[in-house]
Chains A and B, each alone.
Chain A
Amino acid sequence: MATVAPPAARFAKTALAVRKKRAETIAKWVFFAMAAAMIVPLLAIIAYLLYRAAPSLDWGFLVDMPRKGMREGGIWPAFAGTLYLVVISLAVAAPIGVLAAIYLNEYARDNWFNRLINLAVINLAGVPSIVHALFGLGAFVYAAKLGYSILAASLTLAIMTLPVIIASTREALASVPMAFREACWNVGATRWQTIRSVVLPNSISGILTGVILQVSRAAGETAPIMFTGAVFFKAIRPGTLFPYHLNDQCMALSMHLYTVSTQVPNVKDSIPYATAVVLLATVLLVNVSAIGLRVWLRARKRW
């Protein structure tokens, strides 16, 4: 007759179980370390930039004009220029992108033509920024005769941000349950009526977040604007809110960081760092507010 082990021993872990558990714990900590390995550099970089930028960072830095060959003073013209570029490029890209996403998600059937469109969107997203610059130079500066201008630079940026707006809008539209649309169709609404009254209002939060996230992309890119409309320096009337015209060239934060760190000699060390901090802070603030908006609106969803 088999001996029956005492109750406690019956549930004791076997050697195999112990090994498995240990492997699992090790794996978990290894993967956690890998994930943390990304956060640490991010925080370290931000901390170091802030530390080196501190001597120059104050409100005046943002709204002052640069002085003494950009070695002192502020970066207001660059900041204003970036605002112009971002607003105009998104004003062009957002409508086209949203409408294109509506087409792809609501109207397109699964045939070869629409697969081609999908392929085109994916490829547009992967084009290197310097190739966008080449395109902007060839198409907007020369062929369309816009010359070096804010308009040419903004249009180049618009083409660059378009595919991501399309992708994020599609996701937002796809998150609206099919049942909503079917309910509309069942009462006899046309496709556009359905979109206008049910699909769009319910996905507007996702669409908005997608567009806002592209603000940081448009503000941060240098190569596309370097050859189409951004300059090293432009003297503007101080104290105006709208210093540029559409066919002027402009300074831009990203371009300014590049020139101040590579071309202006004997500049106080903290100025390039401060420019980097302003650019980074703008970008991160916009992103954080977009994420916050998304989280808040998602919490209020009713399905």
Chain B
Amino acid sequence: MTDATPSSLHTVGPRPRRRTWAVVGEKALEAVIRASGVSAIFFVLAIFFFVFREAAPFLFSDEFKPFEFLFSTQWYPTSDINVRYGTWALTVGSISVTALAMVLAVPFGLGAAIYISEFSGRRQRETLKITIELLAAIPSVVWGFVGLTVMSKIIVALTGAPVGVNLLNGGVILALMSVPIIVSIGEDALKAVPDSYREAAQALGATRWQIVYRVLLPAAKNGLLAAVLLGVGRAVGETMAVLMATGHAVNLPHSVLDSVRTLTANIAAELGEAPAGSPHYRALFLTGVLLFCITFAVNVTADLAIRGRRRL
């Protein structure tokens, strides 16, 4: 560490100093470290900047009608006779597939989190946690493939629907994809409730189940909310799995057996063909901006929810 000239402790001489290059080197390294830290902000801003930059000319042009863009169901960007950019059907597609996924994932996810955190023994806990991690690692294109091949056959066999790639298919696949996030963050939230709460309840004679629903759930509700919100964020942002599993049809679903198209799948399908700089291209980037804002809002809310819990 210090290059100590072996000055004995008894003489009063000059303080041992480090070599200059060590000091300068360390300062330089610290500058690099600080720069890396700041880079996260830089990248988020860069993403927003580049996506917005491509979308801006369309946003500020005459062709753009905000009400129609957001609330019309007619998406005809390549029409020869009547070009229309209505994203409402796509937005509803995204919302409905996410909602269905959450309806399936939240009960199972929270239930599993409660089991892992409160009821399971150590062996079981390790096994379950590893399984959840592996479930989370499955790539989205594999999920899409499963939806396209396996799940569609199951759905057709069970419900007699004409087509197996639809809202239900997408919802089930997304649920399986979002469960790991809900479980792991939900489990963190439950673990963060101080043991003193549990011990107090036990002293009053409560069973584990009573502790869960009378003490833990209310105490951890912010963290559990955050877990659900992050699961929502994951589901809304998913692209490949829904591209392959939902049937990719622009319409408002009337039943879970209808095919839908999501905002994300729409961009993925049409981005390649839109000539760079054309209104269609820019409209797609604008949908990207919309998506960015939605996930931003969801993530900030989740973060506030967690933060609120910590101040408890």
Contact = CB atoms under 8 A, between A and B. Distances in A.
Interface stretch (B60-68, B194-202, B265-273): B265-273
Contact of B39 (A100, A107, A262, A287): A100
Q: In which size bucket is the chain B interface? A: 35 or more
B119 A107 contact: no
B176 interface: yes
20 contacts: A20-B210, A21-B207, A34-B112, A35-B111, A38-B176, A103-B34, A121-B40, A122-B302, A126-B234, A129-B140, A133-B268, A134-B267, A138-B51, A162-B40, A192-B30, A222-B141, A223-B239, A258-B145, A258-B244, A272-B149
A158 to B, nearest CB: 10
B24 interface: no
Interface in A180-235: 188-193, 213, 216-217, 219-223, 226-227
For the complex of A and B, 5 pairs with smallest distance between CB atoms:
A220-B139, A128-B237, A103-B37, A34-B111, A99-B36
Contacts of B132: 38
B47 interface: yes
A41 interface: yes
B295 A221 contact: no
Question: Which of A117, A130, A191, A291: most chain B Cβ within 10 A?
Answer: A130
Interface of A: 20-21, 23-24, 26-28, 30-35, 37-39, 41-42, 45, 48-49, 95-97, 99-100, 102-104, 107-108, 114, 116-135, 137-139, 142-143, 159, 162-163, 166, 188-193, 213, 216-217, 219-223, 226-227, 254, 257-258, 261-262, 272-273, 276, 279-280, 283-284, 287-288, 291
B258 interface: no
B114 interface: yes
B44 A130 contact: no
Interface string B204-234: 0001111010000000000000000010011
B115 A32 contact: yes
Given A123-B44, A138-B51, A24 B239 contact: no
B164 to A, nearest CB: 14
A220 B264 contact: no
Nearest to A195: B33
Contacts of B230: 126
B209 A23 contact: yes
Contacts of A96: 36, 39
Nearest to A116: B41
A141 to B, nearest CB: 10
- Looking at chain B's contact residues, the main secondary structure is helix
Contact of A126 (B26, B240, B288, B299): B299
A279 B295 contact: no
A262 to B, nearest CB: 7
Interface string B125-159: 00010111111011111101110111000000000
A124 B44 contact: yes
Contacts of B244: 258, 261-262
Contact of B271 (A104, A132, A134, A193): A134
A239 B234 CA distance: 40
A33 B54 CA distance: 49
Nearest to A213: B137
Given A35-B128, A129-B239, A30 B264 contact: no
Contact of A103 (B33, B43, B53): B33
Given A26-B209, A262-B244, 4 more contacts: A100-B33, A257-B141, A262-B148, A283-B139
B237 A126 contact: yes
A37 B111 CA distance: 10
B2 interface: yes
B288 A130 contact: yes
B44 A42 contact: no
Nearest to A115: B307
A124 B285 CA distance: 18
Nearest to B116: A35
Interface in B240-280: 240, 244, 264, 267-268, 271-272, 276
Contact of A131 (B32, B33, B292): B292
A261 to B, nearest CB: 6
A161 to B, nearest CB: 12
A219 B133 CA distance: 16
A42 B135 contact: yes
Contact of A20 (B32, B137, B176, B207): B207
Contacts of A272: 145, 149
B175 to A, nearest CB: 10
Given A34-B112, A120-B44, A128 B236 contact: yes
A108 B210 CA distance: 42
A121 to B, nearest CB: 5
